[in-house]
């Protein structure tokens, strides 16, 4: 099974959530709560994403984290690399010497490289802006009850008028 680590998965969830409000400064507790991720884990991920240049960290009372550049210029692959290192399905296609005993005579190595490149390319094609456009309703902030009631009232008024 090919699977992302929890850190990479959570990082993508957090970046997607932040991409929904790209102009806002987000503090760690807020991001953790909105993303449904434990605060210590969220803090660790935020620091790593800031070190990688994907987030900008701002100190002070109104500080927090913000996207370092437009959400359309940050890819899923960049988030994964920031949290896990290079994308490599097998050890023989990682940078540097691998730990495989048959690496030099492996008939599948060239194809593994093609497969890895295809996956990396696919992840590079998906931006955080695209991820933010398809957010499930469970992650949408709850409406203000007064605003929700007003919206329901307008809907029923339109129904009666029609």
Domains in the chain, start-ordered, CATH in brackets? Answer: 6-85+127-161 (1.10.10.10)
Sequence-ordered list of residues with C-beta below 8 angstroms from that of 62, at least 6 positions apart, any chain: 25
CB 28 within 8 A of CB 64: yes
Is the per-residue pLDDT at 57 higher than 60? yes
Is the per-residue pLDDT at 130 higher than 60? yes
Which of the pair, 122 or 61, is modelled with greater confidence?
Answer: 122
Q: What is the pLDDT of residues 83-114, one digit of tens each?
A: 999 888 877 666 555 667 776 777 777 788 88
Average pLDDT for the chain: 81
Helix residue ranges per DSSP H, the chain: 6-19, 28-35, 39-51, 76-84, 109-124, 128-133, 145-161
Q: What is the pTM of this model?
A: 0.76
Q: How far apart are CA 118 and CA 87, in angstroms?
A: 11
Q: What is the pLDDT of residues 12-45, one digit of tens each?
A: 999 999 999 888 888 999 999 999 999 999 999 9
**The pLDDT value given to residue 78:** 98
**The pLDDT value given to residue 61:** 74
* CA Rg value for the chain: 21
């Amino acid at each position: 099974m090919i699977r992302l680590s929890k850190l990479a998965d959570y990082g993508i969830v957090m970046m997607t959530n932040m991409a929904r409000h790209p102009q806002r400064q987000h503090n760690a507790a807020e991001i953790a709560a909105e993303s449904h991720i434990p605060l210590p884990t969220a803090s660790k991920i935020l620091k790593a994403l800031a070190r990688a240049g994907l987030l900008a960290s701002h100190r002070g009372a109104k500080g927090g984290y913000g996207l370092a550049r437009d959400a359309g210029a940050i890819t899923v692959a960049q988030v994964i690399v920031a949290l896990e290192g290079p994308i490599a399905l097998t050890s023989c296609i990682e940078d540097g010497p691998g730990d495989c005993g048959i690496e030099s005579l492996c008939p599948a190595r060239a194809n593994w490289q093609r497969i890895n490149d295809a996956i990396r390319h696919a992840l590079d094609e998906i931006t955080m802006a695209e991820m933010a456009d398809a957010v499930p309703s469970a992650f949408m902030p709850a409406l203000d009850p007064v605003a929700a009631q007003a919206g329901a009232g307008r809907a029923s008024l339109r129904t009666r008028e029609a």
